Amino acid sequence: MTRALRNTFIGASIERREDLRFLRGRGTYVDDLQVLGLLYAVILRSSVAHGRVRSIDVSGALKIEGVHAVITAKDMTSKDYPSGVPIVPMRLQPLPEFLPYEQPVIAYEKVRYVGEPIAVVLAASVAIGEDALEQIAVEIEELPAVATWQEASKNQSVLFDVTGTNRSLTFEARKGDADAAFKDAPYTRRERMRTGRHYGLTMEPRGVMAEWDAANNKLTVSGASKVPFVNRRILAKQIGLSETDIELIENDVGGGYGARGEFYPEDFLIPFAAKHVNRPVKWIEDRRENLMAMNHARETEADLEIACHRDGTIIALRGEMYTDMGAYMRTNGAVGARNAPQFLTGPYRVPHHKVDSHLWMTNKTPVGTYRGPGRFEGSFYMERLLDMVAADLGIDRIELRRRNLIGKAEHPYKLATAQPTNAHDQTDSGDYEETLDRCLKEFNYADVSKLGGKLIDGKYHGIGVACFIEGGAAGPKESARLEVNDDGTITVYLGTSSVGQGVETIYAQIAADALEVPMERIRHVYHGSTGLVSDGYGAYHSRSVVMGGSAVLDATQKFLGLLREAAGKRLGCAESNVTLDVDKVIGGGVSLPLKEFAGLTAEGAFLNHKHTYSYGTHATHITVDARLGHIQILDYVVVQDVGRAINPLTVRGQVIGSLVQGLGGAVLEDLKYDAQGQFLTGSLADYLLPTASDFPNLRCFVTDDHPSPINPLGAKGAGEGGIVAAGGCMANAVANALQTFHVEPRALPLSPAYIWELLQAGRK
């Protein structure tokens, strides 16, 4: 700990600052921006899953009144790229093996998924632009579509001729010697399971507005979120400008969930268009586009084997995973396929671990991260296996988990290492059994569990339990800056971004606590735009509180140091005698108003290469209507320990919010394609999201009994714990409810059709 904080605001459920504008319709999202001379971009997207582009004739579109220009690959002549068309590089795991699979910003030789950009129309209105799309003649020679990983693995139809294979990589998660451990294992079980295709659907579709100031050689791009500094670096290289010539501006952002704010093709196309025609250009995605253009996620299949002692102690895990990657390796596309094998073991002690994860390219929308990437999938596989093991060995499933949870004295506990990225990881702190016990108590498990499998009023009751860990706090660095305003208040500037989680409030809490001033003295918290601090890393991997918050803490210390130095000179006293008292600087028996120091600024940073692991337990009580396959949740309890809750109100918001997303993935959501790679779920009537009436009975309990030792706040990332264990918990509850039919769900989502199918098979 750097310093004992005078704890006034940290730990308090403080109402959010952001709400004052959002609730009155005064937020400013990117589509709310308007400038003179604006052109609207509309994108022609491929309706063919796999094919060679033979010709694109835009002359018909150009004849329409109000159409200003149509941009295709031919307009791109960047010398830095062999084809002239820029490529979107990977941000995470940028391995050389992935290079051939990275996405060009616009299709030029081949189209590889339905939804891939082919042309950009710039028009006086969106409506005119959409009219013009119909007048663009595109000739595509269709190739056999690869619509599943199994089809991809045949390598008969290959997406990338240059590599000749559809497999972009295999990650290897390793610990101990699993094969040797399996040889002597008294009990083993092997299962094949799969998860559906989901995505981090944000309520606000993506949008970009770009303004090119030719006179000053300045490109301003609004609509940034998540990782503005990285995206600026990517754009600078693609468009041939220096980073200082580009400013990325973060506006209010209508949700992130891992998907929004990565660098997408449109993040080049719109700035390029603005520069190309020397006019401001805005593009706002519609929902149909969003469903087929924003990163997909989750679709994996696993063939896993577990080895245990007769008392249920886990000895080893091994097997294979297969991820349906879609058509390109996007900025963070490898994360899910790497995390799933590496973090499969969750909070459990597994001495030997060997899982290979194969990345298969298919003619579908490319994948990226979605809240709890790979962890939701891994948790589903692991938790299902544990319930099956418990039944096989005649051990109570809670007892089985208890036996295998990593003990509080075992931290830091080493997890499997993922190759070829040499990704090491270890837990940080916590008492995993404590949250299990608390959850069982809140859930009244002792009584409720007696209902498991019972048929009451035509419905089968089922109980599910799942334990989880949630990784957070990705490094390497975050920056923060404090500055005195001319009215004596203080502004905080951050290198992280907001995706709606409430960071303006949380950073103000941390800064006010550290400076020992009322929260109102922290006048503004600005974040996410590239002009505010020297460097920034953004909002992902549940890192904002730990990384950004610790950077704020460091900035406050640097700030106080500079203030003491400056004030000491003016007050004529030793620096060590200077104190800040709300709006005054006091020393040597005299004081100066803080506003006398207007402009005084200090930048701080937090560097970190370790991860935090918040953890907890889910328990659910459901009923299944065996005639309809319909699931109803009667009670669902999540207990999560977050190390230190800065604002319990917003932490609970994260837990329940991510839980409902997880329940959507467990029960409702699935992005579907047919065998020709045609996208079948192009509207919100097809891709089902949870609504207010779906899951009414959810409870969460946030604890902060075990601070993280790796950051001065003791906080742990907490944005994903609700989602991680939802699939496993729900599937275990279904198995428990339908035990008389020997039903064992091995796939998500648990749709009525799937449950009915399982029941029919069980009745035979």
Partner 1 sequence: MPVKFEVNGKSVEVEVEPRLTLADCLRHYLRLTGTHVGCEHGVCGACTVLIDGAAVRSCLTLAVQAEGAKVTTVEGLSLEEGLTPLQASFRKHHALQCGFCTPGMITTAHALLSEEPDCDADRVREVLSGNICRCTGYISIVEAVLDARSSYKKTMP
Tokens of 318: 């091994």
Q: Return the number of the residue (26 or 408) whose C-beta is nearest partner 1.
A: 26
> What CA–CA distance (Å, rounded) separates 764 from 411?
48
Answer for which of 46, 222, 362, 650 binds partner 1 (CB under 8 A) is 650
Answer for which of 102, 116, 151, 204 binds partner 1 (CB under 8 A) is 204
Query: Is 312 a residue that touches partner 1 (CB under 8 A)?
Result: no
Residues in contact with 267: Cβ distance below 8 Å, sequence separation at least 6, in sequence order: 208, 221, 231, 234, 235
Residues 113-172 that bind partner 1 (CB under 8 A): 127
What sign results for the dihedral spanned by CA atoms 390, 393, 396, 400? negative
Residues 668-687 that bind partner 1 (CB under 8 A): 683-685
Answer for which of 3, 26, 424, 441 binds partner 1 (CB under 8 A) is 26
Q: Return the number of the residue (17 or 375) whose C-beta is nearest partner 1.
A: 17
Based on the number of CB atoms within 10 Å of its own CB, is 318 exposed (0-12), middle (13-18) or buried (19 or more)? buried
Q: How many residues bind partner 1 (CB under 8 A)?
A: 58
Query: Is 649 a residue that touches partner 1 (CB under 8 A)?
Result: yes
**Residue 548: which of 680, 713, 737 has the closest Cα?**
713
Query: Is 519 a residue that touches partner 1 (CB under 8 A)?
Result: no
Looking from the CA of 286 toward its CB, the CA atoms found within 13 Å total: 13
Answer for which of 29, 160, 526, 756 binds partner 1 (CB under 8 A) is 29
C-alpha pair distances (Å), 565 with each of 556, 584, 726: 14, 15, 53
> What CA–CA distance (Å, rounded) separates 421 from 474?
15
Residues 223-252 that bind partner 1 (CB under 8 A): 252
Least distance to partner 1, CB of residue 223, Å: 14
Answer for which of 1, 2, 6, 19 binds partner 1 (CB under 8 A) is 19
Quick note: the x/- pattern for partner 1 over 33-52, rule CB under 8 A, is -x------------------
Answer for which of 499, 532, 622, 738 binds partner 1 (CB under 8 A) is 499
Least distance to partner 1, CB of residue 34, Å: 7
How many helical (H) and strand (E) elements, i.e. helices and strands, does the chain have? 19, 32
**In sequence order, which ranges of 572-669 are alpha helices (DSSP H)?**
648-663
Q: Return the number of the residue (494 or 499) whose C-beta is nearest partner 1.
A: 499
Least distance to partner 1, CB of residue 505, Å: 10
Tokens of 234: 């990517």
Q: Return the number of the residue (576 or 683) whose C-beta is nearest partner 1.
A: 683
Query: Is 660 a residue that touches partner 1 (CB under 8 A)?
Result: yes
Contact segment (CB under 8 A) with partner 1 among 253-261, 315-323, 445-453, 590-598 equals 253-261
> What CA–CA distance (Å, rounded) separates 188 from 162?
42
Tokens of 275: 């520069």
Answer for which of 378, 500, 712, 717 binds partner 1 (CB under 8 A) is 500
What sign results for the dihedral spanned by CA atoms 745, 751, 755, 761? negative
Contact segment (CB under 8 A) with partner 1 among 41-49, 164-172, 266-274, 649-657 equals 649-657
β-bridge partners, 632: 623
**Residue 415: which of 403, 428, 402 has the closest Cα?**
428
Least distance to partner 1, CB of residue 541, Å: 18
**Parallel/antiparallel/unpaired status of strands 167-175 and 417-419:** antiparallel
Query: Is 628 a residue that touches partner 1 (CB under 8 A)?
Result: no
> What CA–CA distance (Å, rounded) separates 690 from 668?
7
> What CA–CA distance (Å, rounded) separates 542 from 640?
14
Query: Is 764 a residue that touches partner 1 (CB under 8 A)?
Result: no
Residues in contact with 369: Cβ distance below 8 Å, sequence separation at least 6, in sequence order: 200, 258, 259, 262, 295, 297, 332, 335, 336, 540
Residues 332-391 that bind partner 1 (CB under 8 A): none
Q: Return the number of the residue (66 or 351) whose C-beta is nearest partner 1.
A: 66
Q: Return the number of the residue (86 or 196) whose C-beta is nearest partner 1.
A: 196
> What CA–CA distance (Å, rounded) separates 154 from 146?
10
Q: Return the number of the residue (326 or 690) whose C-beta is nearest partner 1.
A: 690
Q: Return the number of the residue (503 or 567) whose C-beta is nearest partner 1.
A: 503
Query: Is 502 a residue that touches partner 1 (CB under 8 A)?
Result: yes
Answer for which of 25, 394, 589, 599 binds partner 1 (CB under 8 A) is 25
Q: Return the number of the residue (117 or 256) whose C-beta is nearest partner 1.
A: 256
Query: Is 727 a residue that touches partner 1 (CB under 8 A)?
Result: no
Q: Return the number of the residue (291 or 385) whose C-beta is nearest partner 1.
A: 291
> What CA–CA distance (Å, rounded) separates 247 from 238?
15
Q: Return the number of the residue (12 or 99) whose C-beta is nearest partner 1.
A: 12
Contact segment (CB under 8 A) with partner 1 among 23-31, 106-114, 214-222, 666-674 equals 23-31
Whether the CB-CB separation of 507 and 259 falls below 8 Å is answered with no
Residues 696-725 that bind partner 1 (CB under 8 A): 696, 698, 722
Angle at 250 between CA 247 and CA 251, to 5 degrees: 130
Query: Is 64 a residue that touches partner 1 (CB under 8 A)?
Result: no
Query: Is 266 a residue that touches partner 1 (CB under 8 A)?
Result: no
> What CA–CA distance (Å, rounded) separates 712 from 2?
6
Whether the CB-CB separation of 759 and 734 falls below 8 Å is answered with no
Least distance to partner 1, CB of residue 197, Å: 17
In the complex, which residues of this chain contact partner 1 (CB under 8 A)? Answer: 15-16, 18-29, 31-32, 34, 127, 201-205, 252-257, 286-287, 499-502, 649-650, 652-653, 656-661, 683-685, 689-696, 698, 722
